[in-house]
Amino acid sequence: MPINAILALEDGRCFEGTAFGATGTTTGEICFNTSMTGYQEVITDPSYRGQIVSMTYPQIGNYGINHEDAESKGPHIRAFVIGELCEVPSNWRATQPLSAYLAEHHILGIEGIDTRALTKHLRSRGAMRACVTMELDADAAIAAAKASPSMEGMDYVKEVSTPKSYLWSDESREWILPNASTAQPGPYQELPPVRHRIVAYDFGLKFNILRRLRQAGFEVEVVNSCTTAAEVLAKKPDGLFLSNGPGDPAALGYIHEEIRAMIGKLPIFGICLGNQILAHAFGGNTFKLKFGHRGGNQPVKDLRSGRISITSQNHGFAVDPDSLPPEIEVTHINLNDGTVEGMRHKTHPVFSVQYHPEAAPGPNDASYFFKEFADLISKTKEI
């Protein structure tokens, strides 16, 4: 028997649908993702902590869920909003359907929503708080949305960061589909030898970033977000990586201070939240975007080469270019709205991008940044 569900926005607009996954009531900031595939990677991306995610692609669940494609140890979204649920997946890799996976992890789902209307509403009105419920009436759901905390000022990093340091040793070989034109004899491309040892801050780190780093020749030690600069430097790493993550970058002053202390002492590469943290460490500021960039089709221009890349993104905040000091160069911009998508220090080996070069989900246009980081470390060692 279908269970009725309500999606209520803080501005009073409501959408009615049918429940799947777990049932109950939850609140969070609602956002939309425009990717056509990769819903499992979205659900398990720690950067979505505290958010209700709506997928713009009309049918979700077609290829089910499998253990290999998870980007963390479990889901981080508050609720999942879709147009139509595919209850019988068709994929030889699938181990369970989407609804069963969400129910197992106590994540609420609502289907039958006009996600096109919802997306247009959020694009015009901006990001807002929301409530998904199978228990409350519309008025109570709207009140619950209004009473929920804002994303601004929230530190979700402490909730998702690893509790203790570890050396990444999971399977990192790139899986390839064997066919007549495949050069490799098996389903995996062998890993290169280790070139550099780095420390990676886990602000909400995705597994595929770690895989890509290993594929680029890095040995990676992952550390908690509260690790001090002194503790990192005592490990004598060849470089430092700053990961993606959730929440408001301006609320992470305790992290800004530690990263600031390491600028100029070793090469640094940041992705997404790591880019925003670097901006604050440089002395700059960030601001909240109207509705964020989330999907695998964001066009980015490299201002140095003129090259255009189609990129995977997931962020609701951006760097204020006018707040950056003169020693910081903006290297990449978003062609949809002109916001900062990358920057570098003019004298120190430090650079970052706002998008996701690990492409999980998304295109592979920007995967070269991992090699660029390795080459930067090699060049620094030679000096």
Q: What is the pLDDT of residues 7-65, one digit of tens each?
A: 999 999 999 999 999 999 999 999 999 999 999 999 999 999 999 999 999 999 999 99
Task: With cut-offs at 50, 70 and 90, classify the pLDDT of residue 223.
Answer: very high
Angle between helices 207-215 and 368-382 (to 10 degrees): 50
Q: How many angstroms separate the CA atoms of 57 and 83, rounded?
A: 8
Q: Are residues 129 and 223 in the same domain?
A: no
Task: With cut-offs at 50, 70 and 90, classify the pLDDT of residue 333.
Answer: very high
Q: Are residues 190 and 311 in the same domain?
A: yes
- Asked if the model's pLDDT at residue 181 lies above 60, the reply is no
The domain that holds 279 is classified in CATH as 3.40.50.880
Q: Are residues 310 and 241 in the same domain?
A: yes
Q: How many angstroms separate the CA atoms of 10 and 359, rounded?
A: 33
pLDDT digits (tens, 9 = 90+) for 230-270: 999 999 999 999 999 999 999 999 999 999 999 999 999 99
Amino acid at 110: I
The domain that holds 110 is classified in CATH as 3.50.30.20
Task: With cut-offs at 50, 70 and 90, classify the pLDDT of residue 179.
Answer: low
Map residue 6 onto helix, strand or coil: strand
* Average pLDDT of the chain, as a whole number: 95
Task: With cut-offs at 50, 70 and 90, classify the pLDDT of residue 186.
Answer: low
Q: Which two tokens stand for residue 329?
A: 């160069």
Q: Which two tokens stand for residue 21?
A: 């996954």
Q: Are residues 168 and 218 in the same domain?
A: yes
Q: Are residues 163 and 133 in the same domain?
A: no
Pairing, β 196-201 against β 350-353 = unpaired
State residue 160's pLDDT score. 98
User: Which has the higher per-residue pLDDT, 336 or 183?
Assistant: 336
Q: What is the mean pLDDT of residues 217-221?
A: 97
State residue 187's pLDDT score. 60
Q: Which two tokens stand for residue 169?
A: 């040793």
Q: Are residues 86 and 50 in the same domain?
A: yes
Q: Are residues 97 and 47 in the same domain?
A: yes
Q: What is the mean pLDDT of residues 140-160?
A: 97
CB 244 within 8 A of CB 314: yes
Range of the domain at 74: 4-147
Q: What is the mean pLDDT of residues 336-351?
A: 98
State residue 364's pLDDT score. 87
Share of residues in the chain with pLDDT > 90 (%): 90
- Asked if the model's pLDDT at residue 275 lies above 80, the reply is yes
CA angle 30, 123, 47 (to 5 degrees): 40
Nearest Cα to Cα of residue 361 among 36, 99, 31 = 36
State residue 174's pLDDT score. 67
* DSSP annotation string for 309-328: EEEEEEEEEEE-GGGS-TTE
CB 329 within 8 A of CB 344: yes
Rg, Å, the chain Cα set = 21
Q: Are residues 85 and 205 in the same domain?
A: no
Task: With cut-offs at 50, 70 and 90, classify the pLDDT of residue 184.
Answer: low
Q: Are residues 142 and 19 in the same domain?
A: yes
Of 114, 147, 180, the residue that ends a domain is 147
- Asked if the model's pLDDT at residue 183 lies above 70, the reply is no
Map residue 47 onto helix, strand or coil: helix
Task: With cut-offs at 50, 70 and 90, classify the pLDDT of residue 76.
Answer: very high
With respect to residue 378, please indicate whether it lies within any of the assigned structural domains.
yes
Q: Are residues 79 and 167 in the same domain?
A: no
State residue 116's pLDDT score. 97
Would you name the residues annotated as active-site residues?
Answer: 272, 356, 358
With respect to residue 63, please indicate whether it lies within any of the assigned structural domains.
yes
Q: Are residues 130 and 192 in the same domain?
A: no
Of 147, 180, 197, the residue that ends a domain is 147
User: Which has the higher per-residue pLDDT, 186 or 59?
Assistant: 59
The CA distances from residue 104 to 25, 81, 121, 139, in Å, are: 16, 17, 31, 29
Q: How many angstroms separate the CA atoms of 372 and 330, rounded?
A: 17
Q: How many angstroms separate the CA atoms of 275 and 196, rounded?
A: 22
Pairing, β 51-55 against β 25-33 = parallel
Q: For residue 75, with 0-12 CB atoms within 10 Å meaning exposed, 13-18 middle and 19 or more buried, which class applies?
A: buried
With respect to residue 360, please indicate whether it lies within any of the assigned structural domains.
yes
Q: What is the mean pLDDT of residues 361-380?
A: 93
Of 116, 147, 178, the residue that ends a domain is 147
Q: Which two tokens stand for residue 2?
A: 């279908």
- Asked if the model's pLDDT at residue 185 lies above 80, the reply is no
In this structure, is the dihedral angle defined by the CA atoms of residues 107, 73, 297 and 36, taken in order, positive or negative? negative
Q: Are residues 212 and 116 in the same domain?
A: no
pLDDT digits (tens, 9 = 90+) for 107-148: 999 999 999 999 999 999 999 999 999 999 999 999 999 999
> How many helices and strands in the chain, by DSSP H and E?
10, 21
With respect to residue 113, please indicate whether it lies within any of the assigned structural domains.
yes
* DSSP annotation string for 167-179: E--S--SEE----
- Asked if the model's pLDDT at residue 80 lies above 90, the reply is yes
With respect to residue 152, please indicate whether it lies within any of the assigned structural domains.
no
Nearest Cα to Cα of residue 354 among 330, 323, 325, 324 = 330
Total domains present in the chain: 2
